[in-house]
Structure 1
Amino acid sequence: MSQEMVYVEQCKDPNGLDKIILREIRGFSAQVYLYGGQVTSWKNEHGEELLFVSSKANFKPPKPIRGGIPICFPQFSNHGSLEQHGFARNRFWTLDPNPPPFSTNSHYRAFIDLILKNSEEDTKTWPHRFEFRLRITLGPGGDLMLTSRIRNTNTDGKSFTFTFAYHTYFSVTDISEVRVEGLETLDYLDNLKNRERFTEQGDAITFESEMDKVYLGTPTKIAIIDHERKRTYVLRKDGLPDAVVWNPWDKKSKALPDFGDEEYKHMLCVQSASIEKAITLKPGEEWKGRQEISAVASSYCSGQLDPQQVAMETNA
């Protein structure tokens, strides 16, 4: 079976956009668009979708795709002349036809490298040269890994500064039955209150209204527990000290043209990010940020989130 297995397949969607399907032998799959360098699907061995994409999402440039895992670069949020969340999520990335192999863990076969470089259009609003290499890997155990390497390729000797996030939309059964563990007692900036700083209270984060918070100094592991589905998402991250938790709730949902009025009930964004302290790179310097997400049985919750497949690390 392994000889017949197609781990990486390139094809087009109904709008003619290029996408790549990653598959693993046990039935796991992921879908990645070259537009935005964006993961738009991640399914388990039963074919169940683990990421949320809005039924009203635009798959027509230049609009960003609502859902999946948009890449926020070179800024998160909305500041200055740059578009909200930067331009990486609505540019066409290129597929590296010969990506460098993993130095170890050669059992990873379902992976691709995407590359984004500065364009003349981008330098008008962000006058820097860069190379952004994004490796997307679907592990044999179904874990999905995204590794970003951003290099300053300026030839004028200038440094540049950026903020970053993996804007991950998780699919949940009922947002009112979801809790997030790992962020309790931490400080956060509340975007609904002019980024005022507070300290999280309680044992876990639960949801009963709109939420848009940037948690600071977060651990490398966060759990999103879907009680109704008896599923826990485990998010592991490196090089990304912050975590954004966002749900638009009912009023905001109705104001978003590419989002269904009731869809807030079935999604939750928990984002690995570097926002509070911007990253600065001198010419030739490279930054690396990594996120790995796994879906496991909820019996692993509350401090027991270390099944073997989640603990796997790569040197990518």
Structure 2
Amino acid sequence: MDHSAADGNHRTGVEVIKDKNGVSQVLLRSPRGASARVSLHGGQILSWKNEWGEELLFTSSKAILKPPAVVRGGIPICFPQFGSRGPLEQHGFARNKMWTIDDNPPPLQSIDTKGKTFIDLRLKPSDDDFKIWPHSFELRLRVVLSAEGFLTLVSRIRNVNSKPFSFSFAYHTYISVSDISEVRVEGLETLDYLDNLCNRERFTEQGDALTFETEVDRIYLSSSDAVAVFDHEKKRTFLIRKNGLPDIVVWNPWEKKSKAITDFGDEEYKVMLCVDASVMERPITLKPGEEWRGRLDLSVMASI
């Protein structure tokens, strides 16, 4: 992408740029050299790099980078529906709307921004949104990059209407891995899960760790607030911490399904894994004036 057109700065370490299609993106940089890039199209995290410039998120080489397409990779924001079960398009409409930079967000006391680089985005429903989902909401997203290069996402959804509404939600996180057959996920042991490959039949995880030898598409229910993804070949571990997001969706399309996805390379299933902090099984219901908050903390460390 061409990042030559700069709009200016909102605060230290934050730059607003435009891609070749004229879509504004926010580039966050930590003092040590880590970075994150967020598109105002969908509020989507497109890139997260460590201080050595290594990309930590997967984006398909066949991803369509021009709206209204959603980029295949990074971290799309799925709201007010995650998945295909429901009245809306798969994964909802928030990931395909233009967000705005929020210059005056209400206080968020639960997160310390001292020494951190961050940006606040906001999405409000359009007239077209009301036609397909007739609810008045305000969705705010704070993206924080710590001095250590760790990434935090905090979403707040407020009901500003006179009638309750329900929604599901996910940070649809595409992790970059070296070889899926050498990856294991810990923190899911003994959990019940719904298997999307078996018509959502319910099972219990029996293994000490989840490993990958074929397609996986599971919804782990009421998971712990910390899940670890071990990449043996790169000797690094992703730690996924979450709050307000009870479920974890784990997805890898494997060989056959990869070939059927137009914006996904035939062999790219080998170098990616989706581990999504989400609200799936029991949607959130907000009464007028109520607010829901969900938080995701992503960190990476060296492992043996």
TM-score range normalised by the length of the shorter chain: over 0.9
SS of residue in 1 equivalent to 2:298: strand
Identify which range, 81-90 or 103-112, moves more after superposition: 103-112
Shift in Å, 1:6: 4.3
Aligned partners of 1:108 and 1:137 also within 8 Å? no
Aligned partners of 1:99 and 1:112 also within 8 Å? no
Q: Distance in 2 between matches of 1:101 and 1:149?
A: 11
Is it true that 1:77 corresponds to 2:83 in the alignment? Answer: yes
Shift in Å, 1:113: 0.6
Which of 196, 221, 239 is residue 234 of structure 1 equivalent to? 239
Match of 2:6 in 1: none
Write out per-residue CA displacement over residues 29-79 of structure 1, whole angstroms, 9 at most, x where no aligned residue.
000000010001000010000000111111211111110000110011113
Which of 170, 178, 186 is residue 183 of structure 2 equivalent to? 178
Letter paired with 2:220: Y
Match of 2:164 in 1: 159
Write out per-residue CA displacement over residues 105-142 of structure 1, whole angstroms, 9 at most, x where no aligned residue.
34244100100011111111111000000000001111
Match of 2:205 in 1: 200
Q: Distance in 2 between matches of 1:139 and 1:214?
A: 30
Match of 1:278 in 2: 283
Is it true that 1:117 corresponds to 2:124 in the alignment? Answer: yes
Match of 2:8 in 1: none
Q: Distance in 1 between matches of 2:222 and 2:286?
A: 21
Letter paired with 2:48: W
SS of residue in 1 equivalent to 2:219: strand
- The answer for unaligned runs of 5 or more in structure 2 is 1-10
Match of 1:10 in 2: 16
Q: Distance in 2 between matches of 1:149 and 1:160?
A: 15
SS of residue in 1 equivalent to 2:194: strand
The alpha-carbon distance between structure 1 residues 209 and 91, as it changes in their structure 2 partners (threshold 3 A), is same
Aligned partners of 1:108 and 1:138 also within 8 Å? no
Q: Distance in 2 between matches of 1:266 and 1:218?
A: 25
Match of 2:156 in 1: 149
Which of 245, 253, 258 is residue 248 of structure 1 equivalent to? 253
Aligned partners of 1:144 and 1:293 also within 8 Å? yes
Shift in Å, 1:101: 6.5
Q: Distance in 2 between matches of 1:247 and 1:194?
A: 17
% identical aligned pairs = 65
Is it true that 1:266 corresponds to 2:271 in the alignment? Answer: yes
Letter paired with 2:49: K
Identify which range, 94-103 or 123-132, moves more after superposition: 94-103
Match of 1:190 in 2: 195
Shift in Å, 1:93: 0.4
Match of 1:131 in 2: 138
Letter paired with 2:35: S
Aligned partners of 1:173 and 1:265 also within 8 Å? yes
Q: Distance in 2 between matches of 1:151 and 1:123?
A: 16
SS of residue in 1 equivalent to 2:229: strand
Identify which range, 89-98 or 128-137, moves more after superposition: 89-98
SS of residue in 1 equivalent to 2:131: helix
Describe how 1:24-39 pairs up with structure 2 within 5 A. 24-39=30-45
- The answer for unaligned runs of 5 or more in structure 1 is 300-316
Which of 44, 55, 59 is residue 61 of structure 2 equivalent to? 55
Aligned partners of 1:19 and 1:32 also within 8 Å? yes
TM-score by length of 1: 0.90
TM-score by length of 2: 0.94
Match of 1:303 in 2: none
Match of 1:169 in 2: 174
Match of 2:4 in 1: none
Aligned partners of 1:153 and 1:284 also within 8 Å? yes
Letter paired with 2:271: H
Is it true that 1:298 corresponds to 2:303 in the alignment? Answer: yes
Query: How many residues matched?
Result: 293
